[in-house]
Structure formats: structure tokens, C-alpha cells
Amino acid sequence: MATQHPLHRLFKPQHVALLGVSRDTDKAGYKFLRALLDAGFSGQISLLGRQAGELEGHTIHTDAKDQPADIDVAFNLLGPAQTLAVLEAAAARGAAFAVVFTAGFAEMGEEGARLQADMVRACNAHGMRIVGPNCMGLFNLPWGLNLTEITPLPAGKVAFVSQSGNVAVTLWDQARKHDLGFSCFVGFGNQADIPMHEYIDYLGQDDDTRVIAIYLEGLRPGSGDRFFEICSRVSRIKPIVVLKGGRASAGRRAAESHTASLSSAERVYCALFEEAGIVEVTQMEHLLPVAEALMRCPPMTGDDVAIVGSGGGHSTVCTDEVESVGLKVPEFPVELVDRLSGLLPSWAPKKNPVDMTGAFINDPSLFSSLTELVMTMCPSLDAAVNYGLYGLWKEGRLGKDSPHDYVSAAPLLGALQAKLGKPIVFYTPYADRSHPSFTAMRESGVPCFDSIASIGVALAALRQRGRFLARAGEPLPRRAEPARPTVADAASRDYATEVGAYALLAGYDVKLPVVLTADSPEAAAEASERIGYPAVVKAILPGVAHKSDLGGVRTGLGDARAVQDAARGISASVAQAPGAHTLQGFTVTRDLGRRRELIVGVRRDVSLVSLGIVGLGGVLAEALDDVAVVLLPATPARVARALARLTSARAWGEFRGEPAVPPGPLADLLNQLNAALCSDPAIESVECNPVMIVGRDLIPVDAAIALNDKEPT
Amino acid sequence: MATQHPLHRLFKPQHVALLGVSRDTDKAGYKFLRALLDAGFSGQISLLGRQAGELEGHTIHTDAKDQPADIDVAFNLLGPAQTLAVLEAAAARGAAFAVVFTAGFAEMGEEGARLQADMVRACNAHGMRIVGPNCMGLFNLPWGLNLTEITPLPAGKVAFVSQSGNVAVTLWDQARKHDLGFSCFVGFGNQADIPMHEYIDYLGQDDDTRVIAIYLEGLRPGSGDRFFEICSRVSRIKPIVVLKGGRASAGRRAAESHTASLSSAERVYCALFEEAGIVEVTQMEHLLPVAEALMRCPPMTGDDVAIVGSGGGHSTVCTDEVESVGLKVPEFPVELVDRLSGLLPSWAPKKNPVDMTGAFINDPSLFSSLTELVMTMCPSLDAAVNYGLYGLWKEGRLGKDSPHDYVSAAPLLGALQAKLGKPIVFYTPYADRSHPSFTAMRESGVPCFDSIASIGVALAALRQRGRFLARAGEPLPRRAEPARPTVADAASRDYATEVGAYALLAGYDVKLPVVLTADSPEAAAEASERIGYPAVVKAILPGVAHKSDLGGVRTGLGDARAVQDAARGISASVAQAPGAHTLQGFTVTRDLGRRRELIVGVRRDVSLVSLGIVGLGGVLAEALDDVAVVLLPATPARVARALARLTSARAWGEFRGEPAVPPGPLADLLNQLNAALCSDPAIESVECNPVMIVGRDLIPVDAAIALNDKEPT
């Protein structure tokens, strides 16, 4: 017998207890029972309530200690004050899981957080694990299990894991527009005990689930590495799509007061999602269209899209949308345009997009036959978009001689998609209401969307999935055990200056430029004579992040006299600058001239042990704030993907005669910086800005270490 | 009597002729008549068809010459081959306007373009003007005029001007979701004769129109300056919103084959729209929500938004959406949070966003009362968002003691908006279907949206309108008469090198750095002794755009020997570079060091006489492609707005101790470059890259002139 998943009894319980039932049919304490019965639950049901007796044929216990011993899932509706004692009693009698609907825990502040921690500790001590608290409930419709108050629910193949209940209610309502339904749902709320990735792990092996959708406000602190491992594995088997709430500053405040989520920065999630093969959407309205496309369509293995439909404006806007997500609408070859000319009126555009104008009125199967012609004659195309006033234009009336009606024409598109192994997606403005032709199209495998924006996000998702599956064989790099902190050395370290930072990095094999120090302008000139020209002189200023703002950096110095003058000038500038600064001397290095400059760094994070960053460096780095996260350990492939996420991506490829930024050495540098970071728990971050690109070498020409506020231990 | 608008007879005709009617009720030739009758047209109707007789009580003429003489609008359904002769006959008998539904003209290629030009010329000769061809028709519902084949149409206060028919059909269908309707519509298709801005001009003075929506693929070549003037005037009176189709490369190809539109680059339209006070949306699904908000709500005069509603996930996602469009959701002061604490459960978040949790079930007027409290206690807030499972949650059932139902609570929000003079917008996922409470809310003035994304785009539009109205008193700078081309001089000009470009610019008062030329490395060293160090030496290479790619630029040179060596090095590099290049000597200038670098230029355009560009300059300019268009003549305000449109906007304000880029001198530079451009019709563009920012001075340190392929005349 195969081993059961650790959450098996949660999703497929034989025995459910409802704690806090009521005879009042308007109250939640009744509605949850009603929903469970409506779902057709065939296992045992135990009830706990204030008044003894029976409810819908089930005995109401009034004392938690009277409950049966073999409860799989105890669903808790009681107030926060009663919850701990009742759940502990259930746990003591062997209940495996509690789903805590009740709010009033960590999302309320310190007192609630203490109550939450006590509850988890008490229940875990008896081996019971907790979903929530402050959550919407859970369902597994194929199992006849519904632990939410909503009934009936649309059944189908989408699993939804949500930190928010009202987002879930919204999706259950909107799913009808997509002819979609749900297999399983978990509201994980404050995720006090079971972290979100365990649900993903379960759903990965659930045969009734074909795609997993997530609404996430924040991972549990420290759970990012495990989340990444599990999702990387599951997304190789089935698609995952996520909406991340709390992306900007006030949004993060909203998430914190909603589900007590302390969130990493958006770009950390962005890297985690891309690397784990999770498709991210940024609008709630995109979650279902993307889930639909990922569920129904094959992935896209290239960037080229054919657009075939009816209506010039829709055609133009569809093309804009496809291009706006980074895909291409290539012009068709002449032979194909000629073939189309034989089939369509002379005034119909045919170069891609193809506009059949009103011709579909006399045969709606033109959508599939023209699409088949186009995709067959251009095998390099990777997907097709169909669009038009389909289905309900003129109340669905077609020409008298049409060989098809809309309902019979629709499945031809699904059959074509299956034959081609390439996605086809459809847009019609009427798809916001139900119609048998739209349902027939969707059931045959072709998503039918009511917005052109959905076409863009759906194709982008299918392309991202195609890219991910193409590299799914890439081995997952293992994070090395963190180096044992060499705290003994740490006491003697100088973290406050560039010179000290260089000294630390040198111990971790980072290739550094020759840097000489000098305690006077004369000594600086002597140093530059040894190093050569043009030279750079910088002030040594402990704790100053931007030396150049104080006049502490002079570049392009052509001879010894210029160096000496520059060092004197620096002394004068620093002395005149506002604030008290201790000038501890000068560094002298070669000036590498004007080059592309990167910022490269590593830092600790609330979700991950540590992470790398790469981005646009130099004087504009802060203004442009164009930085991407690299998961550690860095690999050339991870670095290349991070560089591609940057707005400035084009600057890091081959560019005006300079070679592409080499991802291998950049990965090495990140891993070396990470080793330095891990050598001392007091270090919060290590950052090199700028790192200059000289051929295939990456040369840090400044470095800084920031400390966290924890005492080194 | 007030002067009638030149398009008065088009929109308010007394006499309409339908050319090409049919007795077959399935055919367009009948449907248009039906639609006109259904609309309640009270004027005279004349018909032209193949078979004589009567149709719906109106005589069918079979010969165009038999038509009455006082036709205001002739609506043409005939095929392209017959159109010219019939329209010319109508024009000869005094018809004022023709609306040409017929396709098969310029959108088909050269032959169609000739036919179109002939038609316009023939009709114009008799004083008749043409709408279209290749257009959807026209309506003015308050006048009882419908010249489209769709009936009935939703009547209301939105005017729609569209280059596409199927986009119009889509909006007419979707308007029911917003309880919106239309006053006037014009499909302008190929805009062979009447340019789009004339319709805008008419609708600006139409009392039945409160907001103007536009779908545009391209302005008529050369009409941009006039379009700008008219829209700037109209948008001071009523809001205008536009969706621009054909934004990317294949999208532009689609537009060209759809309506023969030759389009300027997206960023030209972006500048035109912002400067004219037109709100641009980038998705078709945003056109109606934004039109609705602009029509119903007052503008936003600041950036701060209060969010008050029900449901944690919606709350987080709403906040993300508001922040993603650049607005703020500031944390509330303690006093307000305390007041809210007395009104809401302890677990309800109250800091902004405010989540009333399920409390509205017992009183849906909580939305308005809490919003009023918040907006009154924080008068610095500029708008409010309400959100939640409103209206149809649990089939609209509320608590027994609720003082309001959803329908009676809804107008309280409209009254509050009117009292505050600040916009309120609402989101509920159920708003995609009709419900009396949503209608009541909208009729009271508060938009009720079915997507959270609509909240973001609507508020962004209201903020943009607020900003525009705040500067509506700013005088419109008049474009100076183009300087008379000084072609006589032009023959002796050198456009191929930086030295030649500098010589031209010097004649138009551009402040230039000292540039010495040298014909040998030794002469370069002598020149640098006069100019000072560090120095830059550049190759003079006629026609080479990127000298540095050939090794033709050396910077940071510290003494005469370094300059001489650099010049020798340049000679060697250029000699070794692939391709044949003529090294015509060297320029020597001072090295201004590492500074912020702009690109500043002017060029001719298909829509505008000329335009300016500003953007991120230097070595990364091409990779980052961050450039904004400035309308000419440049003014400091126009320049400041263009800089704010850049991704790199933050880099051009005060930044790390450097002053903000001065918009005044930047405007002067653009106007000087434009004078140089206009001095010779052979010049296509003048570009300075980089322009270095030295205090309040802008110093071009390179310049290039590109020629168009027209022969100088």
C-alpha cells in the first residue's frame, strides 16, 4: 500500500466534527452543517453545541470531552476565548486536524498572537495540526466534503489555496463565466501551524486537481526555501498560478492587518515564483483566465502568435495586447497570404492578423479552417488567437446556408488544438454571459474569454510554462550548509569601510582590483605611481554610504600631481561637508573608465536564509531602482533569468561591441559574497556597487557591509 | 442667432437619404432604414434602390439624379464601384454630407486609395464632405438619428468617436454593465475627408454629451497640431478618454490594413494626449469604466485615497491596485483609528484600508457613514474607494434589523460624493450583472465596478483630469511660423560630422563647449594644453553614429602625453575597425567627468510638423530606450511633464546632491534645436547625446544631424 500523504486525513476525512453548531438556520453554526450535508458527505459527523439534542439526525454533544475519539477534522466555529480549551480536548482524544474558522488571533496584534501560539502549542503536543485560524474553511468536492458556509459550489478541476475568504467567494462566483469549477479549496488565513506549501504538496498528488491557483499575502517567515522546493517539484507535474496580495507599501500594511503576514519584497516573490515555475498574475481578474488557459491548453514553446478572427478594431487591439506581453505577431509569408486571398474577400487583411470580416456569418467553422490553414502552412507559429463578435452577434443568427451553427463549430477548435499540440485561445465580448457555444468551446479545450486583456495574460502564462517545462530537467541546485560562522575572527573585522569590506571579501576568493591605501596626499601620489594612470582617489570614511556626495571621490586623474591635488581637494570637501566625518586616509586604484556598471549583493530575508541581487549599478542605481533577486546558490541559469527580469535587460547582453555580462562569473561572485555573509550572523548584507564589466571579468570597485541589529552570538 | 457648427447638418439633419436600400429584411439595405425609423427620426427620408416603389411608406428612387435637392446626409451602402458616381450626383444636387459605410478604399492598397481620393475630390468640388469610407455609420440619439444597423441602442450622455465598428458594437453591448448609454456616435474609418478632430470640436459644444470616448488607430497625417488645439480646448469643457490601437509594430501593421492609418510612435500620442488633457487607457476593457468615472465623479485634486469596505483580501488587492497607478493610501491618524474602534469590531483593520468585516450585513449604509467619518476627519484625503461583497452576497439578504436595504443605501454614497466634492468609486464582484442597487448607486453619481483593476484606472484618470484642470489656465504656447529655410547657406553645410553639427547649432544660440580640432596627435596635444585637463579626444569620422564602437573616443586624459597617445591609439583602432572609415582628424574637449547624461533632440513626424525628445542619455540610452516626447514650442512646464513621463524620472529631480535638471534651459535648447531643424527641409532630426548637466547648465558634448530622403528643394 502506498504511503498516505500527511494531509490525507484532512482532505479525505472519515469523521468530521463541527464545534459550535446552532439550531438557528440563519447562523453560521447551522449553515456549515447544511453545506456539509448538501455536499453529500458520507462519513461520520459529530456536533458540539450549547444545547443538547439532535440536529439533522446527528447528536449534539455539549461537552468537548464527550466527543468521539477518532475525529479526522474538527471544524471550529467557537469564539477565540473558548477555542483553545475545546480544541485541546479534541486533540487529547486523538483528533488529527482542526480547521479554525474563528478570527481574533495574530491578525489582532500581540495578545491575539500569544493566544494563537498557545493554541498551536497545546494542540501540536497531542499531535493535532491546525488550518488557519482566521480562515474561510476547506473543501474537497469529489470527496463530498464542504467545510465552508457556501452551498452549492461549482465543482471542477481547479484547486484554490487562499489566504483570503472573500477572494475565494469572488472566484467561486466568477468561475461560471469560464465554465470552471473547483476540486479542493483551503483557506489558510494566518497559517499559524501548517504552512501553505504543505497544501500545495498535497494537491500535487491529488488526481482530481489539474491546476492549482493561489492567493497569497505572505509566506510563513523562514519557509521560503521549503516552499520553493515543493513548488518546483509540483509545478513539473501540474501548473500553479498565484496572485500575490500586498505588493506595495500600504498593500503590505493591509496584508499585515488582514492575515498577520510579514512579507518579503515583491521582487523576492517574483524570483521565487519564476524559479519554481509558478505563473504570477498581478490582477485578481486574471487569476481565473490564466488558470483556465493553463488547465485547458498545451504550453507555448516559442514566441510567435497567429491572430485570426473577425473585426478590424478587435484585430488591432488583440495584436497590441499580444505584443505588450512580449510575444510576436510575425508577418505571414507571401504563399500563405496568397492562399488566404483565394478564401477571403479582397478587402480582408491577411498578413497576420487575418480579418475574415463578416464571412463567419455564412460559416462559423471558418475560425477553425482558417486557423488550421495558417498553422499548417507556418509550422513555426506557436499559438493562435481567435477573436470576433462570435456567438451572440445579431442574437446568434447565421446565414441560411451555414453548414454549422455556433455550437457545432466550437468543438472544431478544440480538436484542432489537440491535433496541433499548440494553444488556441478565443475572445468574444459576449463571453461574459453563458451560451452553449462558449461552453462547447471550453469543454473542447479552448478558453473563451470576455476580455482582450485575458488573451494577453493567458498567452504570457502559457509561454512562461513552456519555458519552465523546457528547463524542467535542469537539476535543482542544493543550498550548501551555511558555513560555520567564524565568529572568532569576526571581532577583529572592520565592517565600516570599503577597505575592511575588501579584506573580508578577499578571504572568500572574490577577485578584487589592486587597492592601495595612503594616509596623506603625498602618499596617495606615491601609490598612484605604482598603480598607473588614470587613477581614482577615494576618501576612507567609516560608515559613509555615498562618499561621492561628500566630495570624497575623484576620478580620471592623469598624473601624480593630479592625484596629490585630488587628495587635498577631498580633505577640504570632507572637512566642509555637513556632519562630522573622520577622514581615515585615501584609497588609490586604477580608473577603469566609463563602462557598464552593475550592482551585485547578498542579504538576509524574512522568507529565505539569504538571497542575491543583481541590477543596474552606478550613479543612477538608486533613481532607477532596477534590481532583480537571484535565488542562492546562484547558477549561471538563475543569473541569466534574473538579468532578463531587469528593465535594463538589453544593456547586459552583447551591446555596442561589448560582450554579454558573463553569468558564470556573476554566479560565482554572488556565491562568494554569500559565503562572506554567512560567516557572521551580525552581517545583514554585503553589496558591491559598482561592479565593472571588463571583458569576461567582473571587478567590484566599491564594497559595503551592513549589519543587522541583532547582537552577534 | 448663434453661428451653426460646420457639422450641424451632419449631426442634426432634416433630410436623410439612404443610398442602396433593399426590400429584403435580412439585408443591410433594409436594416439601416429599420434602425432609422426605430430611432424616431422625424425628418424627411429619401431612398435610392434598384427597384422602384415604396418601402415603409417612402418612395424608392432608382436614379440618383431624381433625388431631392436638399439632402443633409446621404448614407451610402452601395458597392465601391458605384459609389463615386452616385455620390457625385447627390453632391451636384446640393447634398451636404455623405456617410460612406462602404469598404474597399484606401485600406485595400493603392488602387483603393486612388478611388478614395477621386471620390473625395469629386464630392468636395460640389461642397459635399465625407464621413469614412469604411466606417460603421453615425448616430445622434437625442435627435432621433440612427445611421447604423444596430437597433435599439442604449441612450445616454457618452459620445463615442471610433475608427472601428466592432469596437463600437462591443461598447454598446458592454455599456449595460455600467448603466451607461450614448448620445452621439461617429465611425470615421479611413477619415478620407473630415479629420477626427472636427467631430471632437462638434461634440465639445453638444449639450447632450458629457464625456467623449475615442477609439483611434491613427490621426490623419499632418493633422496633429490641429487635433491638439481642438482637444486642448474641448477637454477644458468636458472630459475626453482615448484608446489608441496599433501601439506596437505588428499592431501598427494591423491598423494600417484596417483603416489605412500611418501612425506616429506611441510616445508621440502619449505626449499629445497628456498635453491636450486627454486621458489615455491602454486596454479596451478600461474605456467604459474610465468614461463612467470621468462623467459621474468630480476630479481628484491630490494623490491620497481612503479605502473603506468589507473583506481583507479585497482590501489588500484594492490597495495594491491604487498604489500601482501611483496614488497613495496614507495611514490614518490615531484619533481617526480610535473613532473607528468605537464603531467596528476589535478585529477589524482600521488604519487605511478600513475593513468593516461583515458589519454591513446589519446596515449597508455603513459604507457611506464610515466613508463620511473618514473623509471628514481627514480633509487631506482626495478620494474614497468602497469595496466588498455588496449587493448580491447571500442573494442580497441582510440582517432583520437593518435600517436600509442595498437599494436605499446606495444613493447615500452619491449624496456624500456631491457634499465632499471628491470622487467615490465602488467595487463589488457582482457588478457584472444588473441589480437595482448598482443602478441606484450609479444614478446617484458613484461608479460601481465589477473589477478591482477598474478602481485603479478610474482613479488614475480622475487624478490626471484634476492635474489638467489645475493648469487649464496655462496659456497655450503658439507654434512660431517655421523659420524660412535658409537653403542658400545649406549647400555649404557639413551635416556628416560632430564638428559640422556644432557649427550649425552655434548659429541658433545653442551654448556649446569649447571644441578644438586637430589634424594630428601632436596637434591634439597642443590643443589640450590650451583647453586643460582631464581631456577627451574623439575621432572625426563622417557619417559614423557611434564613434566609441570603433575605438574613436578616449576620456579622462591627464596630460599632453596622454592626449597624444590617445590620438595615436584612436588612429590605430579606426584603421583596424571593420568597414572603411575616413579619419578626418580629432576633436579635443574638456572631460566633464561622470555626470547625469540626457539625450535631447528634435525631429519631424507624420502627425506633427516637428517634435522634441528628452530622455536618458549616455552609453545606456539605446538599451534602456527611455525617451519622452515634448510638444513644440517647448516650455518649462511641457519639459517638466515630459521628464515626469520617463521611467528614469527620479534621476532628473534633485538627486544625491545635484540640483534638478532645469526645465527652462532644457526648453530653450529644444527650441534652438528646432530652429536649426526648420532651417533646412533636408534635415530629418537633430540630436545631442549626451547632454551633460553641470549645475544649471546643459552642455551638449556630442551632436548629430540625420537627413531625410527628400531632395533639398
Residue-wise pLDDT tens digits, B337-360: 999 999 998 888 999 999 998 888
CA distances from B183 to B5, B13, B146, B180 (A): 17, 15, 11, 10
CATH of the domain at A181: 3.40.50.261
> A591 and B169 in contact by Cβ < 8 A?
no
CA distance A245 to chain B (A): 6
> A594 and B593 in contact by Cβ < 8 A?
no
* Same domain as A170, residue A128: no
Cβ-based neighbour number of residue A441 at 10 Å:
31
Cβ-based neighbour number of residue A188 at 10 Å:
30
* Chain centroid, CA A125 distance in Å: 34
Residue finishing a domain among A541, A568, A590: A590
CA distances from B171 to A523, B219, B247, B311 (A): 76, 21, 20, 31
Using the CB atoms, write b or e for A320-340: b if 16+ within 10 Å.
bbbbbbebbbeebeeebbebb
Residue finishing a domain among B532, B566, B590: B590
* Same domain as A92, residue A205: no
Residues in A closer than 8 angstroms to B658, CB to CB, are none
Tens digits of residue pLDDT in B137-180: 999 999 999 999 999 999 999 999 999 999 999 999 999 999 99
A576 touches chain B (CB under 8 A): no
* Same domain as B697, residue B627: yes
pLDDT of residue B437 exceeding 90, the answer is yes
* Same domain as A158, residue A23: no
* Same domain as A521, residue A430: no
CATH of the domain at B22: 3.40.50.720
CA distance B89 to chain A (A): 26
* Rounded Cα gap, residues A552 and A541, in angstroms: 8
* Rounded Cα gap, residues B231 and B223, in angstroms: 12
B329 touches chain A (CB under 8 A): yes
Using the CB atoms, write b or e for B189-227: b if 16+ within 10 Å.
bbbbbbbbbbbbbbbbebebbbbbbbbbbbbbeebbbeb
A201 touches chain B (CB under 8 A): no
> A562 and B562 in contact by Cβ < 8 A?
no
* Rounded Cα gap, residues A356 and A671, in angstroms: 56
For residue A127, what pLDDT is reported? 96
The three cell numbers locating residue A77: 466555529
Q: Is residue B425 part of a domain?
A: yes
Nearest to A555 among B322, B559, B594 (CB): B594
Helix, coil or strand: residue A554: strand
Q: Is residue B487 part of a domain?
A: no
Q: Give the chain B residue whose CA is nearest to the CA of A318.
A: B251
* Same domain as A546, residue A615: no
Instruction: Name the strand (E) or helix (H) holding B659.
Output: none
pLDDT of residue B486 exceeding 90, the answer is no
Range B23-47 average pLDDT: 94
Q: Is residue B479 part of a domain?
A: no
B245 touches chain A (CB under 8 A): yes
Q: Would you give the DSSP letter of residue A350?
A: -
Q: Is residue B147 part of a domain?
A: no
Provide, rounded to the nearest whole percent, the portion of chain B with pLDDT above 70: 96
For residue A489, what pLDDT is reported? 63
CA distance B671 to chain A (A): 28
Residue finishing a domain among B531, B562, B590: B590
* Rounded Cα gap, residues B427 and B65, in angstroms: 58
Nearest to A245 among B255, B316, B355 (CB): B316
Tens digits of residue pLDDT in B378-389: 999 999 999 998
pTM of the model: 0.94
Q: Give the chain A residue whose CA is nearest to the CA of B646.
A: A624
CB contact at 8 A, B670 and B460: no
* Rounded Cα gap, residues B56 and B59, in angstroms: 9
**Closest of B548, B9, B628 to residue A658, by C-alpha:** B548
A533 touches chain B (CB under 8 A): yes
Residues in B closer than 8 angstroms to A321, CB to CB, are 283
Q: Is residue B694 part of a domain?
A: yes
Count Cβ–Cβ pairs < 8 Å, chain A vs chain B: 301
* Same domain as B308, residue B207: no
Residues 11-70 of B with CB under 8 A from A: none
A559 touches chain B (CB under 8 A): yes
For residue A2, what pLDDT is reported? 65
B582 touches chain A (CB under 8 A): no
* Rounded Cα gap, residues A246 and A255, in angstroms: 6
* Rounded Cα gap, residues A365 and A390, in angstroms: 11
Q: Is residue A447 part of a domain?
A: yes
CATH of the domain at B544: 3.30.1490.20
- The CA-based angle B416-B418-B421, given to 5 degrees, is 105
Q: How confident is the model at residue B712 (pLDDT cuts 50, 70, 90)?
A: very low
B278 touches chain A (CB under 8 A): no
**Closest of A531, A586, A554, A694 to residue B533, by C-alpha:** A554
* Same domain as B180, residue B61: no
**pLDDT by 10-residue block (mean), chain A, 713 residues:** 88 97 91 96 95 93 89 95 93 95 88 94 97 94 96 96 95 95 96 96 98 95 94 97 88 69 79 97 97 98 97 94 96 97 90 90 93 98 95 85 94 98 97 95 98 97 98 81 58 83 91 92 94 89 81 83 90 85 91 86 91 88 87 96 93 81 95 94 92 88 84 44
Residues in A closer than 8 angstroms to B281, CB to CB, are none
> A655 and B623 in contact by Cβ < 8 A?
yes
Q: What is this model's ipTM?
A: 0.93
Helix, coil or strand: residue B68: coil
Nearest to B558 among A173, A247, A557 (CB): A557
Q: Give the chain B residue whose CA is nearest to the CA of A620.
A: B651
B239 touches chain A (CB under 8 A): no
A345 prior amide bond cis, ω within 30: no
A573 touches chain B (CB under 8 A): no
* Same domain as A122, residue A16: yes
**Closest of B511, B553, B534, B660 to residue B596, by C-alpha:** B660
CB contact at 8 A, B87 and B128: yes
CATH of the domain at B702: 3.30.470.20
CA distance B411 to chain A (A): 24
* Same domain as A64, residue A186: no
* Same domain as A301, residue A284: no
- Mutate which: A173, A242, A317, vs B, most B CBs within 10 A: A317
Helix, coil or strand: residue A399: coil
* Chain centroid, CA A10 distance in Å: 26
* Domain limits for position B89: 1-134
- How many domains in chain B? 5
* Rounded Cα gap, residues A187 and A194, in angstroms: 11
A111 touches chain B (CB under 8 A): no
Residues in A closer than 8 angstroms to B215, CB to CB, are 313
How many Cα atoms sit within 13 Å of A522 on the Cβ side? 0
Q: Going by DSSP bridges, is the β-strand pair A155-162/A211-216 parallel, antiparallel, or unpaired?
A: parallel
- Mutate which: B217, B252, B317, vs A, most A CBs within 10 A: B317
* Same domain as A182, residue A83: no
Q: Is residue A142 part of a domain?
A: no
B311 touches chain A (CB under 8 A): yes
CB contact at 8 A, A156 and A134: no
Q: Where are the beta strands (DSSP E) in A524-641?
A: 535-539, 553-557, 586-590, 597-603, 611-616, 627-630
> B355 and A593 in contact by Cβ < 8 A?
no
Q: Is residue B141 part of a domain?
A: no
Residues in A closer than 8 angstroms to B107, CB to CB, are 347, 349
